[in-house]
Structure 1
Amino acid sequence: MMRCADLFRAVLFVAGAAAAAAPATAQDANFLLPIAEIDRILREGEIQVLDVQPSRGLPGERTYRVTLQSGDHVLQVKYAPAGEGADEFNNRPRYELAAHDVQLLFLDERERVVPPTAIRAFPIDAVRATVARTGDAANPPERTFDEWPMTLVALQYWMFNVDLPDDLPDDDRLEEDEVYERLLGNFNLLTYVIGHSDSNRGNFVQSMDPEWPRVFSVDNGVAFASEESDRGTRWRDLRLDRYPASAIDRLRDVSLEGLQAQLGVLVQFELRDGNFVEVEPTENLDPGRGVRSDGERIQLGLTESEIRAMHRRIVRLIEWVDEGRYELLP
């Protein structure tokens, strides 16, 4: 039987083969297109599904590795249909998008540790047809809301040139390689701020670029106010001795009001001509709920209590830095 790590490497081989003709304008060693173009495709691009496989190559999974085409571009994404209500344990699309957006508060583009992520509203028939291509009927997609024949789907760019780290952190490299220490620090700041509570192997991957060995958090569904995973919560805490000063300085400027404005409504859809399309967010329909609708609008965001808890973690982090508990990397 193939081990999980071997399955993952096999998936990466397929991804690399599919991207053999990558354009010379690739963003870096892990992104075969510029980030802005990936964001555009995930959010609004017209897409054609070319191939569908379970994410880890096993039957009965709830997420899929989808090869799709959009215009002249072919790319792979993690495709995660929401369950009924879009707010169940380990399947909260809003948490995946929130983790992506939180990193924008304190990381530059080349430092980001969550791949491009978006939420789309697709007709239920299209989602079922996509999943059916795996030949696995164990988890047929559901309508997200009973009144509409549609399903919300979280899409996340499937990165190139990454692998499962054997040890995280690599203690020897941590002592010798300041670039690795900085990049791992960025990763740990993100997992701490969002309260990442699932240390399952496969949720974190590392770039194989020796000069820029970023660690990425590619599954953030168990975070914020989620229940804990039975696989441990190792990276929910701060685990290093030093963190990048640039990231800490940006976190100093984060206010509760700013978090509420940026994360209260992460994405909004409106019903137009029978389909839900993403639109600019309006006022928060209900700050106490993460998934909201009023008949023709759907909003996903963090709740007021989730935002307050995250802000408390940031304030505590800054206090600890100022007390000298953690050192800063220049």
Structure 2
Amino acid sequence: MKKSALRFGLLFILLFVFILSFAGCASRGKVEDRQLQFKKAPSPSVKGEFPNWQFTPQELETTIYQRAMAGKLHAKDFERTARGTTGALVLINHDTVSGKDIKWKFKKNVPGWVDSFNTSPRKELAAYAVQKLFLDPEDYVVPTCLAFCIPRDRFMKRGGYAAATLEGTDCVLGLASIWMKDVTVPDTLYDESRFLEDPTYAYFMSNFNLLTYLVQHRDARVGQFLVSKDDKRRQVFSIDNGISFGFWPYNFFIQQWETINVPALRKDSIERLRKIQRQDLDFLGVLAQFKLDENLVLRPVAVGENLDPKVGAKYTNGLLQYGLSKAEIDAVWDRIQNVIAEVDAGNIQVF
């Protein structure tokens, strides 16, 4: 009797979730009721200008990362963030080369776990990589994020006690995301009437929604998304992407951005996606690789052959790889094909 009741309860929950998911897909409304008041939206971004970034994405991915691994970024301060539930820290480094301070959000892994619930370096790295398929750096939605395994003694000088993340290592594994400047948590993230009338607003909001759709973002809590304080150039950023790529369970009682909620997308973005072949996405299988050194610290090395395509995070014989599983990559491919089909069917407008 108890087993039957349990089965019935599980079936009821699954049916309820299915109905909610269907309702979410069907809620986009009729195209004729959501017509744009403009035909084109010139890019508000100026090449080489990043008003909400401390450094350019390219600088962060290359020179800043290299300085960090060479020990040239000295930790000045660690403190808890004002928001969040994963124990994220505000990390301030001093760059001895540029003479500037650099502010990051640092989330350390759960001890004993290469990857875990809501603290998933591989998914953050993957979201950052997916946006490059259709956006220029000036339009990035996801802030630059870099995986580190900080030597334990160095971490504890500023961040307090921390156990080594993985057995046989002596470092604290985690992810540092660059802290965006001149941004705020919006009272209302999306205003459809403004989208239909304001090309600049639509430009950035469509970039955001296409990214969240492709990565199947499922964490729309307050504080996960930021917007520029310059309301005339309201660029939108997704700063926490750990619950994505089909993650389950998630909060299905609030509106998520895993669906296309806006009425139109940028034509340029769709055309870029059209050129992609399935094999072009294989790089998502290994986005970062680390090797254990003589000091028991995991150091970044050039990515190599995927140790196990079925798994996104793998650690074996002193070698760590972060990426997406084959199933997750297939899902990204399917979503690319689906959004192109929706555009071609006239269900999503382009501008």
Q: Is the 8 A contact 2:86 2:119 kept in 1?
A: no
1:77 matched to 2:77? no
Residue in structure 1 matched with residue 41 of structure 2 by the alignment:
none
1:88 matched to 2:116? yes
Residue in structure 1 matched with residue 189 of structure 2 by the alignment:
168
Q: 2-side partners of 1:141 and 1:235: how far apart?
A: 35
Residue in structure 2 matched with residue 280 of structure 1 by the alignment:
302
Q: Is the 8 A contact 2:83 2:223 kept in 1?
A: no
Residue in structure 1 matched with residue 154 of structure 2 by the alignment:
126
Q: 2-side partners of 1:57 and 1:189: how far apart?
A: 25
Bigger CA drift: 320-329 or 36-45? 36-45
The alpha carbon displacement at 1:143 in A equals 2.6
Amino acid of the structure 1 residue aligned with 2:77:
D
Is the partner of 1:43 in helix, strand or coil? helix
Residue in structure 2 matched with residue 154 of structure 1 by the alignment:
175
The alpha carbon displacement at 1:290 in A equals 1.4
Q: RMSD of aligned C-alpha atoms?
A: 1.9
Name which of 54, 74, 79 aligns with 1:32: 54
Is the partner of 2:233 in helix, strand or coil? coil
Q: 2-side partners of 1:256 and 1:213: how far apart?
A: 33
Amino acid of the structure 1 residue aligned with 2:149:
A
Residue in structure 2 matched with residue 232 of structure 1 by the alignment:
254
Amino acid of the structure 1 residue aligned with 2:73:
I
The alpha carbon displacement at 1:247 in A equals 0.7
The alpha carbon displacement at 1:57 in A equals 6.1
Q: Is the 8 A contact 2:169 2:298 kept in 1?
A: no
Residue in structure 1 matched with residue 139 of structure 2 by the alignment:
111
Q: 2-side partners of 1:311 and 1:57: how far apart?
A: 33
Is the partner of 2:168 in helix, strand or coil? coil
Question: What TM-score, normalized to structure 2?
Answer: 0.79
Question: Structure 2 regions of 5+ residues with no counterpart?
Answer: 1-47
Residue in structure 2 matched with residue 8 of structure 1 by the alignment:
none
What are the residue-to-residue correspondences of 1:306-321 with 2, within 5 Å?
306-321=328-343
Q: 2-side partners of 1:317 and 1:108: how far apart?
A: 20
Amino acid of the structure 1 residue aligned with 2:150:
F
Bigger CA drift: 63-72 or 195-204? 63-72
Distance 1:57 1:238, change over 3 A: closer
Q: Is the 8 A contact 2:192 2:262 kept in 1?
A: no
Q: 2-side partners of 1:233 and 1:313: how far apart?
A: 19
Name which of 184, 191, 195 aligns with 2:205: 184
Q: 2-side partners of 1:268 and 1:33: how far apart?
A: 24
Residue in structure 1 matched with residue 317 of structure 2 by the alignment:
295
Distance 1:42 1:130, change over 3 A: farther
The alpha carbon displacement at 1:42 in A equals 5.2
Residue in structure 2 matched with residue 12 of structure 1 by the alignment:
none
Is the partner of 2:231 in helix, strand or coil? coil
CA deviations on 1:107-166 (whole Å, 9 max, x unpaired) are 00111101111101112333344332xxxxxxx644332121222210100010001111
Question: Structure 1 regions of 5+ residues with no counterpart?
Answer: 1-25, 133-139
Residue in structure 1 matched with residue 77 of structure 2 by the alignment:
51
Residue in structure 2 matched with residue 327 of structure 1 by the alignment:
349
Question: What TM-score, normalized to structure 1?
Answer: 0.84
The alpha carbon displacement at 1:173 in A equals 2.3
Distance 1:286 1:120, change over 3 A: same
Q: Is the 8 A contact 1:93 1:153 kept in 2?
A: yes
**Quick check: which has more Rg, 1 or 2?**
2
Amino acid of the structure 1 residue aligned with 2:102:
L
Distance 1:44 1:229, change over 3 A: farther
Is the partner of 1:198 in helix, strand or coil? coil
CA deviations on 1:247-278 (whole Å, 9 max, x unpaired) are 11111122221111x20001001223323221
* Paired residues, number: 295
